[in-house]
Amino acid sequence: MGLHAFFVFDAFTEFFSALTALFVAYYSLKAYKILDDSRMISLNLGFSVLGVGMLIHGAVKVRIALAVLSGVAVPPARRLPLVRLGYTIAFATELAAYALIFLSTMRRPPSTEAALVPPLVTPLIEYDFRSEGLLAALALLIAIKAGISYAQGDSRLAGLVSLGFALLAAAHLLLVFGGPLKLVAADVTRLLGFACLLWMVIRVSRVRA
């Protein structure tokens, strides 16, 4: 895959992921109105934050892609302040979103667990193991929680959520190891993860009485 194609694909996956996250957020809000369960607000907030963060990151990627396509000499991505800003926003929003989504799946979000999140925040280094590893761990926790629900037979759709977040965790880990091929693999993995969440919402919309 050429550099131009990679930037376009990278931006496309970011926007697809963002729109899917916002779609899930919209469904969470609908669920709150009908079920009157406050955990749905946390879920809505989590996916909204995730979607907005990805939209901003996607816009940054489009800006870089346009620069590359117009032939402007672009320094290595990690040295660009715009890329660092985009990553910082994406990291902060993803961290907050995953924590909110995980806590929303608890029966009662315990204050002790909520308090554990800030000390876990490590110094932010782009595409570093600590940053991406933390996001992968949180995504994996959500995948495990949904996976348990699926294994217990509570919901078949929980399997899609579990697979989706497991793929998101894998995508974060793939970013750590760098290399152009791994970056493409991370993008594809994340795309598949959000496709699972989108498929879950589509399946929910087909539920009949």
Partner 1 sequence: MTARQRYRSKMRICYDMLRVIQEEGGEAGPTRILYGANLSYERLKRYLAELIEKGLIEEVERDGKRIYRLTDSGRMFIIHFRKMTEFAKAFGMIL
| Binding footprint of partner 1 on the chain (CB under 8 A) | 27-28, 30-31, 34-37, 39-40, 43, 101, 104-105, 107, 142, 145-146, 148-149, 154-155, 157-158, 160-161, 200-201, 203-205, 207-209
What's the min distance (Å) between Cβ of 55 and partner 1? 22
Of 85 and 202, CB closest to partner 1: 202
Question: 189 exposed, middle or buried (CB, 10 Å; 0-12, 13-18, 19+)?
Answer: buried
Between helix 39-69 and helix 81-104 the angle, nearest 10°, is: 160
Which residue number, 79 or 107, has a Cβ lying nearer to partner 1? 107
Least separation in angstroms between CB 193 and partner 1: 14
Toward partner 1, which CB reaches closer, 33 or 79? Answer: 33
Of 79 and 206, which CB lies nearer to partner 1 in the complex structure? 206
**The two three-digit tokens of residue 23, written as one number:** 């779609």
Q: How far is the CB of 31 from partner 1 (least distance, A)?
A: 4
Nearer to partner 1, 40 or 55 (CB): 40
Instruction: Please give the Cα distance from 169 to 196 (Å, whole number).
Output: 13
Residue among 88 and 105 whose Cβ is closer to partner 1: 105
* Smallest distance from partner 1 to CB 174, Å: 24
User: Which residues are CB-neighbours of 4 under 8 A, at least 6 positions away?
Assistant: 65, 68, 69
Residue 37 Cβ vs partner 1, minimum distance, rounded to whole Å: 7
Q: How far is the CB of 94 from partner 1 (least distance, A)?
A: 17
Long-range contacts of the stretch 98-102 (C-beta < 8 A, 24+): 98/46, 98/50, 98/135, 98/138, 98/139, 98/142, 99/46, 99/138, 100/42, 100/43, 100/45, 100/46, 100/49, 101/42, 101/43, 101/46, 101/47, 101/50, 101/142, 102/138, 102/141, 102/142, 102/145
